[in-house]
C-alpha cells in the first residue's frame, strides 16, 4: 500500500509520536530507513519532518524474509 492511498487527510502540523517497525532483510541502517520514510511522509502526512512537527519517534527492526517485508507505522496526534 502506498502512503498516498492510505493517508487522505490534510498534512498534520504536529504529531505527538511516530512509531515505526520495519520488517525485512537485515540490510542498511535504521536511520536511513526512517529518513526515507519521513521524506515520503513530508508534505503528505506531515507538513514537514523537522523536530517541531515530529518531536518523538520510536523505531524497531525485525529481521524477516524479503517476501514478508513490511513497515508498520503508528502516528498519534491531537486534533489541530
Residue 79 — very low, low, confident or very high, per pLDDT cuts 50/70/90? confident
CB 52 within 8 A of CB 14: yes
Share of the chain above pLDDT 70, in %: 98
Backbone angles phi, psi at 67, to 5 degrees: -65, -25
Domain ranges of the chain: 15-71
**What's the CA gap between 41 and 48, in Å, rounded?**
8
Residue 80 — very low, low, confident or very high, per pLDDT cuts 50/70/90? low
In this prediction, residue 2 carries a pLDDT of 77
pLDDT tens digits along 23-55: 999 988 999 999 999 999 999 999 999 999 999
CB 62 within 8 A of CB 2: no
Environment class of 22 (CB within 10 Å of its CB; exposed 0-12, middle 13-18, buried 19+): buried
Amino acid at each position: 500500500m502506498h502512503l498516498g492511498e492510505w493517508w487522505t487527510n490534510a498534512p498534520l502540523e504536529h504529531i505527538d509520536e511516530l512509531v515505526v517497525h520495519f520488517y525485512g532483510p537485515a540490510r542498511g541502517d535504521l536511520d536511513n530507513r526512517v529518513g526515507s520514510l519521513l521524506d515520503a511522509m513530508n508534505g503528505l502526512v506531515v507538513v514537514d519532518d523537522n523536530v517541531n512537527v515530529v518531536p518523538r519517534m520510536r523505531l524497531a527492526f525485525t529481521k524477516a524474509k524479503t517476501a514478508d517485508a513490511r513497515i508498520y507505522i503508528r502516528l498519534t496526534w491531537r486534533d489541530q
